[in-house]
């Protein structure tokens, strides 16, 4: 009993003095070794042996049990350290081939897909995609492109974030009110995926924008005016760039991929702008809050498919989604032999 009391006293004293556990266990081991030495060296009946209690066999067995318990705990701790996940690498961390170490885990579900795999993910990382508009359609498209690992994402918009945007333009947060939409979008995308490069352009699309379009591999048009859509289409045709264009109104959305000569251009399908009042903007007619998310996500899906070569895209088909009646229709569309836009350069 005396030895156990002394051992407890040593442990408490070491804890009070913030002595490392290893030293505390060492002191107790020395105390145990001293007790064993007393029992082995002194004859039976010696006063010191009696004060310690027990005999050499008892203290030897006690030492073996304690050693086994400590060895078990040490082994269990080592196994836990080996099983613990490694911390994610920072964007500036070591590269594993074309990817930083953290990217392999981030994109693992993509890489598992037979249609994408590692080669497809490399193509996504190498791709340059320009998104026109950081509004209802651009918001989900941008977020999914960044999440999917598209390496360079450009976003062009001249607007600022307003209260009326927040119900459907999910890339913008309340504390971004008053900020340029491109800056708000960049902040959100950088927070979502620090491995992608986001290039903001705070300006409108105009006749000089063809040079910008030529810098990218794929264009996504989420603008909200027919004039801009025609301008973007003409610039994409002239630059030979594939275009994914979508539009919304109230409960309905539509999307297609335009890339002549393999498919029609936007002007082939919509040769004339609708009469005033027939296709009002969202600000005039209203729009279902989740609808841009549905169509914008479709834009990102088509972009990923186009970049990786997975599946069959919407080139030559116009997909129309009616949220109110829960219907999806796909219409075959063909090139217009008299199209003044794509036939002039094809």
- Per-residue CA distances from 163 to 177, 191, 280, 288 (Å): 7, 22, 20, 16
Mean pLDDT of 329-337: 95
- What tens digit of pLDDT does each residue of 218-244 get? 999 999 899 999 999 999 999 999 999
Q: What is the pTM of this model?
A: 0.72
User: In the structure, what pLDDT confidence band is assigned to residue 7 with cuts at 50, 70 and 90?
Assistant: low
At residue 181 the predicted structure's pLDDT band, cuts being 50, 70 and 90, is very high
Cα–Cα distance between 317 and 65 in angstroms, integer? 76
Report how far residue 279's alpha carbon sits from residue 301's, in angstroms, rounded to the nearest whole number.
26
Domain ranges of the chain: 2-83, 100-332
Q: What is the pLDDT of residues 261-280, one digit of tens each?
A: 989 999 999 998 877 665 66
Q: Lowest-pLDDT range, 36-50, 57-71, 84-98?
A: 84-98
Both tokens assigned to 19: 């002595």
Report CA-CA distances (Å) from 60 to 28, 57, 273, 280.
14, 5, 96, 91
Max Cα–Cα distance, the chain, nearest Å: 119
Give pLDDT, residue 89: 46
List the one residue out of 320, 318, 237, 225 whose CA is nearest residue 274. 225
* Domain 100-332 in this protein, CATH class: alpha beta
Q: What is the 3-state secondary structure (H, E, C) of the chain?
A: CHHHHHHHHHHHHHHHCCCCHHHHHHHHHHHHHHHHHHHHHCCCCCHHHHHHCCCHHHHHHHHHHHHHHHHHHHHHHHHHHHHCCCCCCCCCCCEECCEEHHHHHHCHHHHHCCCCHHHHHHHHHHCEEEEECCCCCHHHHHHHHHHHCCCEEEEECCCECCHHHCCCCCCCCHHHCCCEHHHHHHHHHHHHCCCCEEEEECCCCCHHHHHHHCCCCEEEECCCCHHHHHHHHHHHHHHCCCEEEEEEEECEEEEEEECCCCCCCHHHHCCCCCCCCCCCCHHHHCECCCHHHHHHHHHHHHHHHHHHCCCCCCECEEEEEECCCCEEEEEECCCCCCCCCCCCCC
Proportion of the chain above pLDDT 70, given as a percent: 74
Beta strand 152-156 with 243-249 is unpaired
Mean pLDDT of 184-193: 97
């Amino acid at each position: 009993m005396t030895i156990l009391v002394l051992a407890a006293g040593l442990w408490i004293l070491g804890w009070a003095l913030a002595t490392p556990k290893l030293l505390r266990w060492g002191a107790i081991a020395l105390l145990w070794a001293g007790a064993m030495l007393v029992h082995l060296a002194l004859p039976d009946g010696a006063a010191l042996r009696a004060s310690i209690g027990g005999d050499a066999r008892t203290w030897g067995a006690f030492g073996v049990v304690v050693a086994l318990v400590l060895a078990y705990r040490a082994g269990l701790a080592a196994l836990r350290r080996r099983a613990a996940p490694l911390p994610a690498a920072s964007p500036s961390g070591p590269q594993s081939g074309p990817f930083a170490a953290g990217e392999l885990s981030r994109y693992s579900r993509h890489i598992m897909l037979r249609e994408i795999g590692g080669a497809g993910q490399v193509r996504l990382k190498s791709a340059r995609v320009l998104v026109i508009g950081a509004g209802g359609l651009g918001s989900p498209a941008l977020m999914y492109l960044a999440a999917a690992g598209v390496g360079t994402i450009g976003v062009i918009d001249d607007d600022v974030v307003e209260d009326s945007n927040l119900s459907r333009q999910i890339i913008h947060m309340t504390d971004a009110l008053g900020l340029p939409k491109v800056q708000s979008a960049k902040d959100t995308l950088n927070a979502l995926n620090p491995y992608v490069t986001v290039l903001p352009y705070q300006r409108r699309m105009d006749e000089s924008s063809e040079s910008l379009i030529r810098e990218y591999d794929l264009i996504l048009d989420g603008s909200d005016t027919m004039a801009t859509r025609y301008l973007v289409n003409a610039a994409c045709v002239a630059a030979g760039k594939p275009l994914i264009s979508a539009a919304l109104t109230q409960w309905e959305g539509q999307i297609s991929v335009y890339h002549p000569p393999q498919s029609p251009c936007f002007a082939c399908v919509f040769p004339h702008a609708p009469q005033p009042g027939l296709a009002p903007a969202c600000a005039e007619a209203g729009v279902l809050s989740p609808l841009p998310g549905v169509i914008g996500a479709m834009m990102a899906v088509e972009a990923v498919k186009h970049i990786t070569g997975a599946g069959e895209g919407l080139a030559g088909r116009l997909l129309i989604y009616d949220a109110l009646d829960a219907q999806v229709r796909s219409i075959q569309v063909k090139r217009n032999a008299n199209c003044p836009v794509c036939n002039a350069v094809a």
